[in-house]
Structures are given as structure tokens and as C-alpha cells.
Amino acid sequence: MPNPAIPFDNTYARDLPGFYEPCQPATVPAPELLFFNRGLAEELRLGLAGQDVAALAAIFSGNALPEGAQPIAQAYAGHQFGQFNPQLGDGRALLIGEVIDRQGRRRDIALKGSGRTPFSRRGDGKAAVGPMLREVLVGEAMHALGIPTTRALAVVSTGEPVYRERTLPGAILTRIAASHLRVGTFQFFASHGTEGQVRQLADYAIARHYPEQMAAEDRYLGFLRAVAERQAVLIAQWLHVGFIHGVMNTDNMAIPGETIDYGPCAFIEAYDPRAVFSSIDERGRYAYGEQPRIARWNLSRLAETLLPLIAGNEGHAISLATEVLDAFPARYQHHWLAGLRAKLGLRGQVSYGDQVDTALGESWLDLLHAQQVDFTLAWRRLADAAEGDEAPLRALFAAQPGLDRWLQRWRERCAAEDAAMANDGLPDRAVRMRRVNPWLIPRNHRVEEALDAASDAGNLAPFEQLLNALRRPFDEDPANARYAEPAPGSFMASFQTFCGT
Ligand code: AMP
Ligand code: MG
């Protein structure tokens, strides 16, 4: 029987020869389907509805690639913790093709953990069950939170061990992305390639992700500005849910503005701008509160690759690019403040002065920090306070006077707005707040618990239950109460994340 066909349209492979290496996935001994995202498969119009689990396992292990797949390993470079590595590339991933989804969006389908490629260096090209299921949980949670992200279509266990600090069961993830173009892709061709290749790559990226820039005369500068804008939006969203990416290297910053590469990521519990959980981030380069600054640093690396395209005169190109980069903090702040107002239950369209609202939000965060209050629950209980029920919020704070003073300021701000905007037809403040302040995030201890059960005992039930809960992060369903509870203090005190490579 022939392998099923997927209606691929592989522009990267077709239009960008020289930007990748063709490469076949390794064959795996005993593929078993651990996870399949039927809703996403439907959205992608893969036409696989009739396939049984064995056939899906064969497809998404790489053992039986669908007709029309063109597996390639993409070339990229990148700054890792500030150090330039000119040669990274897909060392354990393969782009197998692109499809057009139901909404007309082009999406990449890629395997991760599918064996060695010409870019593997010393790595084995493999991945383990735990980290791949982790990518499912966190990615699907981010998606449900409304944050742009790559998504997991499938996870297949391979029946093969992978050798890390200990021996782990192997797995392959199928990842869906708007594209896998990264800042590091530009860096690769700026450092090894020709100016013509950088231009070809930029034209491809513009046509695919920023078509509104195509006709503009200064389209490369416009492209840089548009990429920066999407990062400003994205990082503001990360901070508003307490997300720490953990390894914001330039090869992990996606040109289309999606969150990509869920390695050592984590969510904060007690609010702390300096929070770091990654075992390899010894100096806190990628700490929670550093992420906006790092985004700008990464965008500067992108800008460097585009200089020859931006203007013939290098000095002129630098000054134009610098203007875009210098505007980034204000663009970030703009999106952060808009999100903050929504979280505080303030109407977006009315501005009572950015400084007043920024100060109100910052003093709230200072209060959470000083008293080590759980970030997620504090916001959620503030919505209860908006309805007059302050007890749940008060229970989170050891000392009340600071909270009293802050609540009074917040109530005055809300009252002033309500007086000016009565009958605007919006739902009640508490309702609005509960739509933007999640009740559930993927709490680190629950994620670890679910992954340990799956990886050590082959028990997928905790993973599936947690995933189901995380798909409805704004619904306060008593059945999911255990997922809303903060971790025991002892857990967070020693919690560390690892790259999962
Ligand atoms: P990451 O830390 O996942 O962003 O990966 C950084 C680089 O290391 C990329 O070029 C990956 O392809 C490569 N890499 C990570 N894990 C492996 C592995 N097990 N085998 C080969 N290459 C890997
Ligand atoms: Mg990466």
C-alpha cells in the first residue's frame, strides 16, 4: 500500500536551493503513537482522518513519510548565550514539507528527534519522550493562552533508547510552525553566504510573513521593524503569563514571531523579575525580566545581517537600523501596558495617562515580589476583588497594609474610569479580567509529575489529564483545582530545567 499523500507545497525546498541539505529520517524499530493532535490535523487539512494509530505512528516516526514529503535539514547559525556559533542548523530536526491550512496560512511540518543530519556535529540527532511531551504541554498551553507558538501535531515513541545522563526512551515530535526561519538563518548566510543569498532569504521571509512590506521601497528596513514589532507583542505576552523561555539564543527567535523551542522553559510562581530555572543559565542572561532586553539584543543581530540591503552606504544603513532598534523598548512598553491594563480590568481604549497606569501596575508587581505572592493566583483573585470578594486575594498576602493601600488606588482608578464610561456595553470588570488572567498555567511540578509518569512508567494518564486542563486555562473548573495550586515551596526552591538535548 502506498504511503498516504499530504497536499504539500514545499516552497522552502523549491525556492531556496543551497539553504538546506536534503536528508532522510532514521528508521526506528517500534514506533508507537503517544500523542496526536486531531484538532490541529484537521486545521491543517492533512487528510489523515482514516488512518489508524499504527499508520499514524509510521508516518510521524519518519518510517513511512507521506507522499510528497521532501525532508530537508535547514542551515542556520546563532548566538548561544552571547557567543556566535557560525554552524548550528537542524542537527536533530527535518522539515518534511509545508501545507496551507484551513485559514489559508502556510505552515511547516517538521520532525524533531528524527536522527542525524549533516548539521548534527557530535549529537545523536535523537530526542527523548519526556522533553517531547513537555513541548506538547507547554506549547498547547501557550496556544490556549492566546500566545503565538509553534504547536505539536504528534509524538511517537521510537522503541529505542537514547543516552543522556541516564538512558531514556526515545521519541520524535512533529512540530507545526508558521515557518522555521530564525534570526540565526539570516546570520548563517550573512557569515558564510553572499549578499545575494541574504537578499533571497529576506525576500522569501517578507513574501511569506510580511507581504505588506513587499511593495515598499525600504522593504528591508520595514521587514526589520515588522519583525521587531511582533517580538514586542510576543515578549509582552510572555511576561503577562509569567513565561520564561530559558534559552533565547538567536537561533531560537523565530522570524514569524512565534514562541519556538520549548527546552528549559518554565513559568514563575512567586513573582520575581530575576527568576531563572535553567541549569545552564548560570548568570541569568535569560531571566524572566531580562527577556525584553534580550529580544532587542537578538534583533540587533538580525539588523546586522540586513545592513547591506537596507542602504548602500553602511553608515546610513546603521543609522536607519539603529532607529528601529532604539524604538523597540517603547514598542515593547506599549504592548506591555496594553496587556497590563487588561489584566487590571481597565479599559484599553481610554488612557488615564500611561505613567499613572504603569506606576499602578508596577506597584502591584512590587507588592507581589516583596511578599512572594503567586503571580497567576494574585491576578485571578484580583478579579474576585473586582466583584467585591476580597478574601481570596487577602489570603495570598502575609501582610495586609501594603495591599490595602494599593487596592484603594486601584479602586479609585477603576471608579474614575467607570464614571467616565458608564454604559459602554462591555461585560463586568471581573468577567473581563477572567478572560485575560488565566487560572491555569502549566505549573512546573505538575508538568514534571506528568512527564515522569510517561517517561518512567509509560503511564500517559497524568499527561493527558493535565493537557486537557491546560486547554481551558481561563475556566475555573473545580475538577482541575489541583492544577491551579502553587507548588510546595520546597519544590520551587530546588527546581531546575534542562535543555533536553
Ligand atoms: P537547541 O538548544 O535545541 O536550540 O539546539 C541548538 C543546536 O543543537 C541546534 O543546531 C540543534 O539542532 C542541535 N542539537 C540539539 N540536540 C541535538 C542532538 N541530540 N543531536 C544533534 N544536534 C542537536
Ligand atoms: Mg533551537
Does the Cβ of 290 fall within 6 Å of ligand 1?
no
Position 420 scores a pLDDT of 85
Does the Cβ of 88 fall within 6 Å of ligand 1?
yes
DSSP string covering 384-441: HHHTT--HHHHTT-S--HHHHHHHHHHHHHHHHHHHHTTT--PPPHHHHHHHHS-S--
- Is 1's pLDDT higher than 70? no
User: For 78-101, what is each residue's pLDDT tens digit?
Assistant: 999 999 999 999 999 999 999 999
Position 167 scores a pLDDT of 97
* C-alpha of residue 501 to centroid of ligand 1, in Å: 6
Distance CA 257, CA 295 (A): 11
* C-alpha of residue 119 to centroid of ligand 2, in Å: 13
Position 493 scores a pLDDT of 86
Position 421 scores a pLDDT of 82
- Is 321's pLDDT higher than 90? yes
Whole-angstrom CA distances from 368 to 25, 236, 346, 388 are 48, 18, 19, 20
Position 501 scores a pLDDT of 61
Does the Cβ of 91 fall within 6 Å of ligand 1?
yes
Residue nearest to atom 6 of ligand 1 (CA): 88
Residue nearest to atom 23 of ligand 1 (CA): 91
* Residues near 499 by beta carbon (within 8 Å), at least 6 away in sequence: 247, 263, 264, 278, 280
| Cell numbers given for 283 | 548568570
Active site residues: 251
Whole-angstrom CA distances from 16 to 175, 204, 315, 449, 470 are 21, 8, 30, 43, 38
Query: Averaged over 40-57, what is the pLDDT?
Result: 96
Position 146 scores a pLDDT of 98
Does the Cβ of 501 fall within 6 Å of ligand 1?
yes
Mark out the alpha helices in 145-241 (DSSP H runs).
183-192, 195-209, 219-241
Position 423 scores a pLDDT of 73
Does the Cβ of 242 fall within 6 Å of ligand 1?
no
- Is 21's pLDDT higher than 70? yes
Q: Which atom of ligand 1 lies at the shortest distance from residue 127's CA?
A: 19
Does the Cβ of 305 fall within 6 Å of ligand 1?
no
- Is 77's pLDDT higher than 90? yes
Position 350 scores a pLDDT of 59
- Is 446's pLDDT higher than 80? yes
Does the Cβ of 114 fall within 6 Å of ligand 1?
no
Query: Averaged over 409-414, what is the pLDDT?
Result: 95
Position 457 scores a pLDDT of 93
Distance CA 179, CA 184 (A): 13
**Which phi and psi (to 5°) does residue 163 adopt?**
-105, 110
* C-alpha of residue 252 to centroid of ligand 2, in Å: 5
* C-alpha of residue 92 to centroid of ligand 2, in Å: 10
Ligand 1: residue of 80, 88, 92 to mutate (most ligand atoms within 8 A of CB) is 92
* C-alpha of residue 251 to centroid of ligand 2, in Å: 6
Q: Where are the beta strands (DSSP E) in 65-213?
A: 72-74, 78-80, 83-85, 93-100, 106-112, 127-128, 151-163, 167-177
pLDDT tier at 27, thresholds 50, 70, 90:
very high
Residue nearest to atom 10 of ligand 1 (CA): 88
Ligand nearest to the CA of 112: 1
Position 348 scores a pLDDT of 65
Return the minimum-mean-pLDDT range out of 7-21, 24-38, 365-379, 407-421: 407-421
Query: Averaged over 455-471, what is the pLDDT?
Result: 97
Position 353 scores a pLDDT of 87
Does the Cβ of 135 fall within 6 Å of ligand 1?
no
* C-alpha of residue 27 to centroid of ligand 2, in Å: 23
Across the chain, mean pLDDT equals 96
pLDDT tier at 369, thresholds 50, 70, 90:
very high
User: For 333-368, what is each residue's pLDDT tens digit?
Assistant: 999 999 999 999 998 655 678 999 999 999 999 999
User: For 210-264, what is each residue's pLDDT tens digit?
Assistant: 999 999 999 999 999 999 999 999 999 999 999 999 999 999 999 999 999 999 9
493 and 272 Cβ atoms separated by less than 8 Å: no
Position 347 scores a pLDDT of 86
Position 492 scores a pLDDT of 87
With cell 521587514, the residue in question is: 223
Distance CA 169, CA 63 (A): 17
**372: exposed, middle or buried (C-beta count within 10 Å: 0-12, 13-18, 19+)?**
middle
